[in-house]
Structure 1
């Protein structure tokens, strides 16, 4: 029987790593990995994860992480002394995260000048080497503006990393039109960008798939490749990133694309509700959710999750695991939290009584699939449920506030907390004291945001 794990996390208030819930106590201060909410809170709270940096104009930026065990949802907060929430253009947002690094975006709104200033930072969990650091990513020379979804992050050992983006153009060469890719690579060692022309490793059919390409996430694949994921079609790979002439390849998904239909002016039935991609140690994992009919995302609708795996060198995908929601075992003790799952005829708890929203694969070497689901479509609260696809059991669940609709992925799996566990004991004790002080100051000085 699976352990009952209920993560103690209220996303409407700040919490610390010592408040995390789990199946059993752990000796380390931080989880090995977390489900990090992609959008940040604006808050002046600090802890031992806090790192400070500055924009190119000299404005101070502070970032802190508030971490709980999965399936609880962690989040990060950003503070810029002297600025209020209205001075930000939207919430700061995670772009991608790999190993000890988190790449995130901050935008400021200058209403008097009618302009928006965008800044990208890389957070590094340095462990025993010292407190976490924050580095501003400079703009690449000769490029007007880099969009966040173009950036990918590749760990290079220790505290070294590279950030890259592909600038692609549909150009005429002779009598034919084809893609031309320029790879821009930033090195944390030199703190500078380099530009390389990438060679094409694309078939004619793969090149055609890139025309309507839309990036939804980025993954690091092994030690020298980055992947930009179109969650409905496939992965554009930039291989041999550090060579003079990197190679662009394309890996289509093993499942057909998903029909996208509008719902209350939101793309509710988007591919993010059916697919997810993750990579562990060079092995790419892909999951597709299939429903018992075209009208998905309604209570009581059956669904199945199928995962495939592949390496870049393989000739295709290999089917890995498959689970039907009807066969997933739910411990009866969860009825205290979700009595709506109870089936009076079978005398069992059934996951299909929830409205399925989003799948998220683990970034570890396991068969865990995290799903977000609601009791009803109108509810503001959802549940993140960890399902072991191999043993077909619910491993844990945690509540999270979402709002009425969830049109896109809300959180990102991150492994950087495991690097924080190497911090010195003195730093960890300082963190604990800060958490205690912040909880006591919360009601006196700050009003947490809701949602």
Structure 2
């Protein structure tokens, strides 16, 4: 995976935030980030990282020869899956047999711990929580206050039929890498269900589920174990999981925009229009909502009377090969909100900034050229093509109306959102990530993805500098020196030695 149009200068201060590919690679990549351990079946396993500057995805690599021998060439489903990150800690799972692609109980869970030299990274195998299966989106990992050598893994499960009672699962590690154990207890929401007061579920809608977790965020540091389980449309269930008697607190999200109100009561974890994150210094929660009108292709009506049967009318249109097709441009608006931490009242949500797609410009020539090239994959329109050909600067109107853009991911460092981008006629073709500064109304960078799937398969997470300790990582972060500059410096050193 390579950045097609990225700007290292723009992102110089955002190295703690990366976009981690959820799907790991089953391959060996030995370097300073490599950690080793054993699976529950006793097979050796190793994990490595390749960190990259957003919007390029960062990747992790898992190599276990015994597991790879189990999988024939036509069965490429046993890939490792990233779950959660907190500073030096990274939690992932990997199927240990073919059943593991369908059952979480046939997965091994590992915690990777990045450490500063001369210490090597550590890889811990967790005991499987056999009493229950935990969804990937329900799990968080917390670094404790002792320098990160000990940690907690936690998950919250909803109880069917109950609005206020949930089951909290907790795993505490032990010193020196010894395995801890899982515990669980029932926890209840303390105080009123604020989301039912702010945005109650109408009895007429299909969704009558109080909470569906879309992602988990950590609000505290060290001994402060405050974690939030986010329902992207309803609200956040907050809990300090390190307390002896933890309680849940309900905090609704800002009311959805009118154009998204129909999505608020769908029984889904889809983050098509929104995302929630916590700032790097843990001082506020960040929320973004996109209002999206997708571009679409409209065909002219063929001559003759329309058939009253929809299927026959579809066949009639299909048989007309020479129908003129027109691209109706789309548009979107992104609005960000902030909530100070500690969280106290729903009234503390503050609208921060907003941008419409038509307002965006860019100072990055490569990003502009790439967006224009991608937009031409959509149905061509003479007026737009002539306008793009006549453009002589990168401050002209960007062709975003011809692109499908959704699934925003928020940076923890600044006002940047990373938006998945694809041409309208892009079925089977590559997708892209576009970095948009909402406050400055700028497109900062664009990167091509390996997968053409128009779905979020990456996590916007904050990782420590120890993940970047591998040789070659500086190059992936856009800090590599030009080869000519290196050669010139070597020649100067050689001349200096000869003169001596």
- In structure 1, the partner of 2:24 is 40
Quote the residue 2:338 is aligned against: 309
Q: 3-state SS of the aligned residue for 2:97? A: strand
- 1:202-222 CA deviation, whole Å, 9 max, x = no partner? 524647878353222211112
Tell me the SS of whatever aligns to 2:230. strand
Equivalent-residue separation in structure 2 for 1:204 and 1:301 (angstroms):
37
| Residue 85 of structure 1: how far off its partner (Å) | 7.3
Task: Mark the runs of 5 or more structure 2 residues left unpaired by the alignment.
Answer: 202-207, 298-326, 376-383, 476-500
1:409 aligns with 2:442: no
SS for the counterpart of 1:146 is coil
Q: Return closer, same or farther for 1:349/1:220 CA change in 2, 3 Å cut-off.
A: same
Question: Structure 1 residue 125 and structure 2 residue 114: aligned?
Answer: yes
Tell me how many residue pairs correspond in the alignment.
394
Correspondence for 2:49:
65
Change (3 A) 1:258 1:188: farther
Report the Cα offset of residue 117 of structure 1.
Answer: 1.4
Q: What CA deviation, in whole Å up to 9, does each residue of 1:151-199 have, x standing for no partner?
A: 211222322321112244357xxxxx66433322222236233444434
Secondary structure of the equivalent of 1:307? strand
- Cα gap change, 1:128 to 1:200, in 2 (>3 Å): same
Deviation at 1:392? 0.9
The answer to whether the aligner puts 1:319 opposite 2:318 as a matched pair is no
Q: Which runs of 5+ in 1 are unaligned?
A: 1-6, 11-19, 172-176, 262-266, 433-451
CA-to-aligned-CA distance 1:350-397 (integer Å, 9 cap, x gap): 133321132110022x11111110123425212211111111111111
SS at match of 2:271: helix
- Within-5 A mapping of 1:290-369: 290-292=291-293, 300-310=329-339, 311-316=341-346, 317-331=349-363, 333-334=365-366, 335-340=368-373, 344-345=386-387, 347=391, 348-350=396-398, 351-364=400-413, 366-369=414-417
In the alignment, which residue of structure 2 is the partner of 1:391?
Answer: 440
Cα distance in 1, alignment partners of residues 328 and 141 from structure 2: 38
C-alpha deviation, 1:200, in angstroms:
2.3
Name 2:312's counterpart in structure 1: none
- Out of 421, 432, 455, the position equivalent to 1:373 is 421
Contact 1:196 1:246 (8 Å CA) reproduced: no
User: 1:120 offset after TM fit, Å?
Assistant: 1.2
Give the corresponding residue for 1:276.
275
CA separation of 1:110/1:411 partners in 2, compared to 1, >3 Å: closer, same or farther?
Answer: closer
Partner of 1:15: none
1:255 alignment counterpart: 255
* 343-352 or 218-227, which deviates more: 343-352
Deviations 1:268-323 (A, max 9, x none): x9741101111123321110001348989x87211110011113424121111111
Q: Paired residue for 2:126, among 137, 146, 154?
A: 137
**Larger deviation, residues 191-200 vs 58-67:** 191-200
Report the CA distance shift for 1:372/1:86 in structure 2 as closer, same or farther (over 3 A).
farther
Report 1:156-235 matches (<5 A).
156-157=144-145, 158-159=147-148, 160-170=150-160, 179-189=164-174, 191-204=180-193, 206=195, 211-223=209-221, 224-235=225-236
The reply on whether 1:54 has 2:38 as its aligned counterpart is: yes
CA–CA separation in structure 1 for the residues paired with 2:89 and 2:167: 24
Q: Match for residue 100 of structure 1?
A: 88
CA distance in 2, matches of 1:294, 1:336: 20
**8 A Cα contact 1:93 1:104, kept in partner:** yes
Distance in 1 (CA, whole Å) between partners of 2:121 and 2:137 is: 24
TM-score of the pair, normalised by structure 1? 0.76
Distance in 2 between the 1:54 and 1:167 partners? Answer: 29
Q: CA deviation at 1:144?
A: 3.8
**Aligned ranges 1:141-152 → 2 under 5 Å:** 143-152=131-140
Pick which of 59-68 and 412-421 moved more: 412-421
CA offsets, 1:127-172, max 9 Å, x none?
A: 236121111121347x24333333211222322321112244357x
Between Structure 1 and Structure 2, whose CA radius of gyration is higher?
A: 2
**What is the deviation of 1:55?**
2.3
How far apart, CA to CA, are the structure 2 residues paired with 1:286 and 1:123? 29
Residue 449 of structure 1 is matched in structure 2 by none
Task: Give 1:103 deviation, angstroms.
Answer: 1.1
Please give the alpha-carbon distance, in whole angstroms, between the structure 2 residues aligned to 1:382 and 1:349: 21
The two structures have a TM-score, normalised by structure 2, of: 0.69
CA contact (8 A) 1:255 1:288 kept: no
Q: Distance in 1 between matches of 2:473 and 2:253?
A: 47
